[in-house]
Structure 1
Amino acid sequence: MREPAPPADGADPHGTPPEPGGVLILVVRSGGIAGIPRRWSVQPPSGEAASWVALLERCPWDDEIGPGTGGDRFVWRIEARIHEERHEQVIPEEHLLGPWRELVDAVRNASS
């Protein structure tokens, strides 16, 4: 099942409009046995943006990530806006390592 696209204006799917020139990160986990998607997002205030930008810059956004193996595995869609620059990557669970795992964990923890 494919996830609906986030709002075209870059707004947080929870209805929070993006801060002009700020940072917005959306993580969507889909798949698994039940196939129920989960969403987390963070839009840090400008005073906290630098640490999030550093985390985002460690992620290899331009790398091609291979397909996952096996059924009923999670797939992670990560979208980020840093000022006016946008990034997106889809990562099978088995490839969610290193900076990708750090980013996902940080967004999930900040959204809790």
Structure 2
Amino acid sequence: MKETRSPERSTEPSPTLVVAVTRTGGFAGLTKQWRAEPREDEASVWISLISRCPWDDPAERDMRGADRFQWNIRAQCGDEDDREAELADSAVTGPWRELVDAVRDWNDGAKAP
């Protein structure tokens, strides 16, 4: 009888990388959501995008202005690293814009930033 071996599996779960973007407000008050869950081999590019954003900078969170979009950006990099930011539309520039565009592109079928 031939013995078959199943491939070895790691007992540790692979880190989860999820980036979710929600845009609310505007004239019609509609909500749009996008989500990216890159594969492990794409994680380093996404982690770089995430780390360039100023998550702890309160100056980037000026929410004034009627009929403007507001953005909620959440990044989960494994079990221990969960980040979230609420931004006014005018603050979604530079690294924030790159991250938002990458997540939106992910949803449109371009699976890499």
Q: Are 1:75 and 2:70 matched, yes or no?
A: yes
Q: Matched residues in 1 for 2:40 and 2:52: separation?
A: 19
CA contact (8 A) 1:27 1:107 kept: yes
Which one of 66, 91, 110 corresponds to residue 95 of structure 1?
91
- 1:70 counterpart letter in structure 2: G
- 1:107 counterpart letter in structure 2: V
CA contact (8 A) 2:61 2:86 kept: no
TM-superposed deviation, 1:67: 2.0
TM-superposed deviation, 1:20: 4.3
Q: Which runs of 5+ in 1 are unaligned?
A: 1-18
TM-superposed deviation, 1:45: 0.6
Aligned residue number for residue 44 of structure 1: 38
Q: Matched residues in 2 for 1:55 and 1:92: separation?
A: 19
TM-superposed deviation, 1:69: 3.0
CA contact (8 A) 1:41 1:107 kept: yes
* TM-score normalised by the chain length of structure 1: 0.79
SS in 1 for 2:47: helix
SS in 2 for 1:61: coil
CA contact (8 A) 1:22 1:49 kept: no
* TM-score normalised by the chain length of structure 2: 0.79
- 2:83 counterpart letter in structure 1: H
Alignment of 1:1-112 (within 5 A): 20-64=14-58, 65-84=60-79, 85-112=81-108
CA contact (8 A) 1:68 1:95 kept: no
Q: Percent identity?
A: 39
Runs of 4+ with deviation above 3 angstroms: none
Aligned residues: 94
Higher-Rg member (1/2): 2
